[in-house]
Structure formats: structure tokens, C-alpha cells
Amino acid sequence: MFALDIDPAQEVSMTFQKRGRGFAGMSFLINPAIEIPAIAFPNIVTFSESSTTLNMLQTHIDSDTIIFDYTTTEGKQSVFKFPLTGFNEKYLEQFI
């Protein structure tokens, strides 16, 4: 993922942005049993509180950055910005 100092007891929030404005996001816990923290989602995510769905592939296409907010193992808040510049060109074209 992006850092190995994530406190698995604290939620990680993930926000998809386009031109600096968030338009989709979620919070989740990293499974502490996994040796290397990673996240994997099905292509269509359904939010249990509202039964709203989110197409993760389309969200990646529509975004230019993913912001991860998390708590480190030392208890400090940290932010990691993952740029999606070139996602369409580098990833999606492999399947066309």
C-alpha cells in the first residue's frame, strides 16, 4: 500500500478527488492479520447504511487523486496522496 506504519485498530479513510474536490469516499479498518497492509474491493461496492452502490473502476477513471487519511502506530494523524494521473492510459488501455 503506501505506508507500513498504519495502526490497524484505527479507521483509514479514502477520498477520491477530481481537481481538489472530493466526490466519493469511505472509511474502513485494515485487517491486522494481514502481514502487509493492503486493500481490495469488488468493482461494485454497496454501502450497507444506504444500499447506495459505487463503481470503483469508474470512480478511478473519474478521479485524479486518492487521499488516504490514517493514524500511524505512534498515534499521529497522517495523509497520503496517491495520484491517478495517467491511470486511463497506463492501466485501462491494457484491456482495450
Residue 32: pLDDT over 80: no
Number of domains in the chain: 1
Query: For the whole model, what pTM was predicted?
Result: 0.76
Residue 2 falls within a domain, yes or no? Answer: no
Q: Three-state SS for 56?
A: helix
CB of 9 within 8 A of CB of 33? no
Residue 37 falls within a domain, yes or no? Answer: yes
Residue 3: pLDDT over 80: no
Residue 8: pLDDT band (50, 70, 90) is: confident
Q: Residue 34: its pLDDT value, please?
A: 72
Nearest Cα residue to 26 out of 41, 14, 11: 14
Residue 5 falls within a domain, yes or no? Answer: no
Residue 28 falls within a domain, yes or no? Answer: yes
Give tens-digit pLDDT for 34-66: 766 667 777 888 877 788 888 988 898 889 999
Give the phi and the psi of residue 33 in degrees, each rounded to 5: -75, -15
Name 57's Cβ contacts closer than 8 Å, sequence gap at least 6: 43
Give the phi and the psi of residue 5 in degrees, each rounded to 5: -105, 30
